Structure 1
């Protein structure tokens, strides 16, 4: 028990590697050390108490607390707050049967590059609790940590050195929630690639402070039951959710980030359930430009919820967004499909166009009937059937081969025939696209 002890002076250290303690280890109540506290490989049957202690090595960037590869039977805790550390804390490969509770701690690595807290591959049976106004200057590294309970950083304030991440947690697995919310602030990017969260990954009321165009949050290949992105304000940086999977994705249109990468992201539902036209700008924020998969994913989500009209709106928007990426001939063909049948998702447009041209042709050929072709007996002329015979390719109603228009009406017939072929082709292309999706 070293509560209240002070170890100071040049070359001062607490060297106790592979220490074995049957009960708890108490380094709180005003404990201070101006050198490294070396507990590498220690085995502590109870808890390690760090409340109201100060660790400040003489050499900037030198480890303040070396608790790597330790076995802790209870908790590592600083419940009463007051833990102040000027140098890296090393908890790599340490196993804690209880929880790690460092509420209100102050971590500061004065070195220009480096870690404030290195807890890579940390194994915790309970919670990893970094709430209570925890402040860190330097990276917090939680890569490949295994936490049976929850990872809690509500209200924490993290600041990175230069281009370093404020929080690096790639590969975390947690049985509860991963909360970076309720006042959480990160000055620097957050890297949470390939994480597994059994419950909620939450950024509600969080501030992600990075320069414009930088990555605010990288969450590639991750999974969570719920991802909540109600951030305090819209981030100027990019949120990258590539290849991730979420049961529910919650966000706030007022806080959509400047850049959003959704390529390969899969979700079962999205809230709030906005109209498709309102949600479309959300899909168009990928810095790489047009990517088709996010449109397909949102359309599939709408269909699962029975919103077929909304799904069609999204799919039409997908083709319109793709149009500028096409070669000029393909772009023209895309425009034609859009105007006529809405890429196959608006088939009634073709019917309306067909009826319009049928009405126009019927009126023209009623006023100026065509002449009979050949010496044979021609069927009785009917302007509507004659117009329909011109409009419908591969269909012979007996009128087109028996009558031929004169003068300027020849061009009207050519327009009707061409329109028929264009309508038939675009309808076939659109129908094929819809059938392939089905």
Structure 2
């Protein structure tokens, strides 16, 4: 072994080496053979006793391949001025606390039956734990790499840990990769305040039991979670399968294939410069934490691109995106969301998007959708969506929100209530076959409707408010018809409004309303008054021609004119000289009283209707 060290060659065929002999070799290193680089390369040996290199400075690289150690390797605060590599070795534990490795540090394909303790380890180049199995005793950490600093990448692909992994406050200059890694610990993967200059990979079969805690992490690149399974720690306060709160992500969160999470996920107050892609992901808290409010809890999330939840994303538990800012679009085409514990299936109150919100193409919600105080620069689409809620309960709350276009062309008419109160909508699109049983439009303002139905077809749409009659939706619909030049439809809507109001009036007021309706259509159909006046004039003229009244008073009266006499009776406050010159007798007096009364009623209703029209103008 001594000679192999001097030549820098592999030392093989030595069945057993004392740990103290290795320590002596590395401390009192012999001079290299001329023209050779001295280094320790030992393969297939059993190392008896303890190998303790604590606080030792090691010159030259150390490579141990397929060696078996009887005791834990103690390398605390050691300084390796080249590389350290342990390959396919078996050991009861490894401690590199505070050590410094100038070049690469590899612990690959090893089997460790204790803890791998890398706290405050500094590696100049790459740190690798690929394909290593760590089996600590119950309750101990499998890998403790708190405050590790790595000058390049940290690879732990295929790592198999039967205990908790700690990466608190670790600093990785480039990539941190846990591809295909298995972590089965009570606390899972604990990496709060982690800093990674490049990407973070929890993909390619990564599985974690317990919490994956990335609170406050700073990731310069993309977080990838394709083909990843997370099983949370179970019930209890503050327990999450994934905690990515208050993090800064310089790229995307990409989980576009095969992400399965059993337990709550929290991503609140996190900033993502790119997009959040969760295509086909599955979030479920129904069995792991049945009392949890949300399967995905992401309030105040800031995303520069899209939140992409297409391609049959499944959520058992609320998807909570309250007060999030999305530079692109919010996409849920084909997703299926199921509410639990009387919570919404999707809660996006206060969301602002620069693109569209698409809950379409087979989107299904078993529970209400809450979009209160939402601002959407482009379009909100529920085309071909299914809103599955019981009758009378809220299916969609789009309250106090604004969008350029809202499409409600649902696959089928929902039994629940769609609430559009106090919303501002440019274009409202729907289809009569999918009108909901309950529709609240009080305070809603829209510029146009599609399809452009006539008033008689659109009026039943207004009569679906569970609270009963509300006048504003009628006025809004009439204003929309007027802007489109459909004055007849606008008048029909306003007349229908007054007819609905009549049901709540007292009997005298109801009678007066009937008179206004029948005479002038509440002022919106003035030609009715003209035709009624002409009919009364014709009837009075015929009557007084057959039975003329008797002249009264002294002097010579003007010649009797039946038509002028009838007009004098019908027009209040107008004196044509006929009424005061002639007086009917007998039963004709009642005819005169009837004509005078009809004249006053007609004049009053015309004045009331004209006043109403002028107020609207």
TM range (shorter): over 0.9
Matched, 1:48 2:227: no
Structure 2 Cα separation of the partners of residues 317 and 355 of structure 1: 26
Contact 1:372–1:402 (CA<8 Å) still a contact in 2?
yes
Structure 1 equivalent of residue 268 of structure 2: 92
Structure 1 equivalent of residue 116 of structure 2: none
TM-score (norm 1): 0.99
Structure 2 Cα separation of the partners of residues 266 and 333 of structure 1: 31
Structure 2 Cα separation of the partners of residues 353 and 276 of structure 1: 26
Matched, 1:63 2:223: no
Helix, strand or coil at the partner of 1:325: coil
Counterparts of 1:238-317 in structure 2 under 5 Å? 238-317=417-496
* Aligned pairs, number: 436
Structure 2 equivalent of residue 28 of structure 1: 203
The structure that has the greater radius of gyration is 2
Aligned residue among 2, 5, 8 for 2:184? 8
Aligned residue among 284, 287, 293 for 1:108? 284
Aligned residue among 577, 582, 596 for 1:417? 596
Counterparts of 1:64-213 in structure 2 under 5 Å? 64-79=241-256, 81-110=257-286, 111-113=289-291, 114-213=293-392
CA displacement, residues 143-190 of structure 1 (integer Å, 9 cap, x when unaligned): 000000000000000000141110000000000000001100000001
Helix, strand or coil at the partner of 2:589: helix
CA displacement, residues 360-394 of structure 1 (integer Å, 9 cap, x when unaligned): 11111001110001122100001011011000000
Helix, strand or coil at the partner of 2:557: coil
Structure 2 Cα separation of the partners of residues 340 and 424 of structure 1: 10
RMSD of the alignment, in Å?
Answer: 0.8
Counterparts of 1:361-380 in structure 2 under 5 Å? 361-380=540-559
Structure 2 Cα separation of the partners of residues 398 and 246 of structure 1: 60
Runs of 4+ in 1 over 4 A off after TM superposition: none
Contact 2:232–2:264 (CA<8 Å) still a contact in 1?
no
TM-score (norm 2): 0.70
Structure 1: gaps spanning 5 or more residues = none
Structure 2 Cα separation of the partners of residues 185 and 381 of structure 1: 80
Matched, 1:322 2:501: yes
Structure 2 Cα separation of the partners of residues 370 and 8 of structure 1: 111
Structure 2 Cα separation of the partners of residues 309 and 290 of structure 1: 22
Structure 1 equivalent of residue 531 of structure 2: 352
Structure 2 equivalent of residue 396 of structure 1: 575
Contact 2:283–2:295 (CA<8 Å) still a contact in 1?
yes
Contact 1:12–1:33 (CA<8 Å) still a contact in 2?
no
Aligned residue among 212, 215, 220 for 1:37? 212
CA displacement, residues 12-68 of structure 1 (integer Å, 9 cap, x when unaligned): 410000000000000000000111000000000000000000000241473100000
CA drift of 1:78 comes to 1.2
Matched, 1:343 2:522: yes
CA displacement, residues 80-128 of structure 1 (integer Å, 9 cap, x when unaligned): x110000011110000000000100000013333210011000000000
Contact 2:251–2:273 (CA<8 Å) still a contact in 1?
yes
